[in-house]
Amino acid sequence: MASMEQTAPQMDLLRLWRDKNARAVIIQILTIAGLFFFTFWIVSNAVTNLETIGKGYSFDFLFEPAGYDINQYLIEYTNRSSHLTAAVVGLLNTLLVAVTGIILATVVGFILGVLRLSKNLLMGKIVYTYIEVVRNVPVLLWILLVHGMLISSLPSPKASVSDGWDFLGVSFLSNRGFYLPQPNPEPAFWATVIAFFLGIAGAVVFRRHARKVQDATGKILPVFWVSVAAILGLPILVFLVTGLPIVWSFPELKGFNFVGGFAIKPEFMALTLALSLYTSSFIAENVRGGILAVSHGQTEAAHALGISNSRTLQLVVIPQALRVIIPPLTSQYLNLTKNSSLAIAVGYMDIVATIGGISLNQTGREMECMTIVLLVYLCFSLLISAFMNWYNKRIKLIER
């Protein structure tokens, strides 16, 4: 009896370790404790080492003047602005490339993916070759190549004007950028903006209304065309009625470059084009896979019920294909966003080139600058993931 009592606590521990749920909890506690001590050790190490060489961990430098120029800024910036402003300029530049790139890559990717499945044999082969070539070369090469082509094959601003590299005489393509007329809205332009948002709201309301009408009477209303009319037609109408309240400033050649107008810089163009074409080739494959994953039997069953081709796509094929396409799409968006850090290769001033590059070199604050860059990318990635997961949940298939 006595010996049994002695072994009892040991037995209990053993039993606890054998229990599936208890073991999971124990492992988690141990992991968290380990992680905590490891992080603590790393951080305290870094702080003591930095202190011995006379550097603290402080973000005060952010408020000192940056002292360098940035060639593309979406907010007010001069070389007398602070490092913080430079970081924000870089962040916005990264955001601009990521958002433009994601939109372009998605549109081009979906089109290519569908064309790849085209019954037209030649079209299918051409798209196939394109996709294979584009996605099998490292994206950095594409960025350099596109940049090189824009810089060396496009004419100088002067030659652009004299050799007719213009569109209707108001837009000019040159190696200094693509110069477009810049719209300067007058106060009355607000009416158009309001009309646009009203149009969107109207389209949403009409969609609901059409649903109700269809449920009640069976009548199918032209939701698509009414939406187009509301979202595009209404603002255009208001714009015309309020007397075209926009003053255009046109680019004009002065000396060696254009003044006025609005320029899309070659660095931005190269980076965005290369990133989006590269990513679109992966998206195209996802889209193709998603459509192929919907068996032919589904289309046949819909057709056999008398459902037309376009309705079959809308009601049967696309809802099922999307659930295959969305998860890999998320990782393509993340890739594109992270790949945008290659901006530095062509001198596009993104978050890495500004705070993680020039600011870092000038102030010697590696830890602080890298922390900022890291957090920025982490935030972008988490935001994209969160959004895509939310969307994926909405369209997810319920199965056994």
Partner 1 sequence: MSEAAIDTSGMKVTDEVVIEIQHMHKWYGEFHVLKNVNLTVNRGERIVICGPSGSGKSTMIRCINRLEEHQQGHILVDGIELTNDLKNIDAIRREVGMVFQHFNLFPHLTVLENCTLAPIWVRQTPKKDAEEQAMHFLSKVKIPDQAHKYPGQLSGGQQQRVAIARSLCMNPRIMLFDEPTSALDPEMISEVLDTMIELAQEGMTMLCVTHEMGFARKVANRVIFMDGGEIIEQNEPEEFFTNPQSERTKLFLSQILNH
String of b and e for 278-309 (b: at least 16 CB within 10 Å)?
bbbbbbbbbbbebbeebeeeebeebeeeebee
**Token pair belonging to 95:** 């955001």
Q: Which is nearer to partner 1, 54 or 218 (CB)?
A: 218
CB of 308 to partner 1, least distance (A): 6
Residue 316 engages partner 1 in binding (rule: CB under 8 A): yes
Looking at residue 137, what DSSP letter applies? Answer: S
Stretch touching partner 1 by CB under 8 A, among 5-13, 75-83, 282-290, 294-302: 294-302
Q: Which is nearer to partner 1, 148 or 319 (CB)?
A: 319
The amino acid sitting at 63 is: F
54: left (phi over 0), alpha (psi -120 to 50) or beta: left
**Are the C-beta atoms of 155 and 177 separated by less than 8 Å?**
no
Stretch touching partner 1 by CB under 8 A, among 33-41, 309-317, 353-361, 368-376: 309-317
Residue 293 engages partner 1 in binding (rule: CB under 8 A): no
| Residue in 107, 293, 263 with CA at minimum distance from that of residue 179 | 263
Q: Which is nearer to partner 1, 4 or 304 (CB)?
A: 304
Beta-sheet pairing, 246-249 with 182-185: antiparallel
**Token pair belonging to 217:** 């009477």
CB of 303 to partner 1, least distance (A): 7
Stretch touching partner 1 by CB under 8 A, among 251-259, 308-316, 346-354, 370-378: 308-316
| Site mask for partner 1 (CB under 8 A), range 190-219, x = bound | ------------------------xxxxxx
**Token pair belonging to 329:** 């799409």
Q: What number of chain residues touch partner 1 (CB under 8 A)?
A: 29
Alpha-carbon distance 57 to 44, whole Å? 11
Residue 121 engages partner 1 in binding (rule: CB under 8 A): no
Residue 1 engages partner 1 in binding (rule: CB under 8 A): no
Residue 220 engages partner 1 in binding (rule: CB under 8 A): yes
Stretch touching partner 1 by CB under 8 A, among 2-10, 93-101, 292-300, 347-355: 292-300
Query: What residues contact 308, with CB distance under 8 A and at least 6 apart?
Result: none
Report how far apart, in Å, the C-alpha atoms of 350 and of each of 70, 96, 354 are. Answer: 10, 9, 6
Residues at the contact surface with partner 1, assessed by CB under 8 A = 214-220, 295, 297-298, 300-308, 311, 315-316, 319-320, 323, 397-400
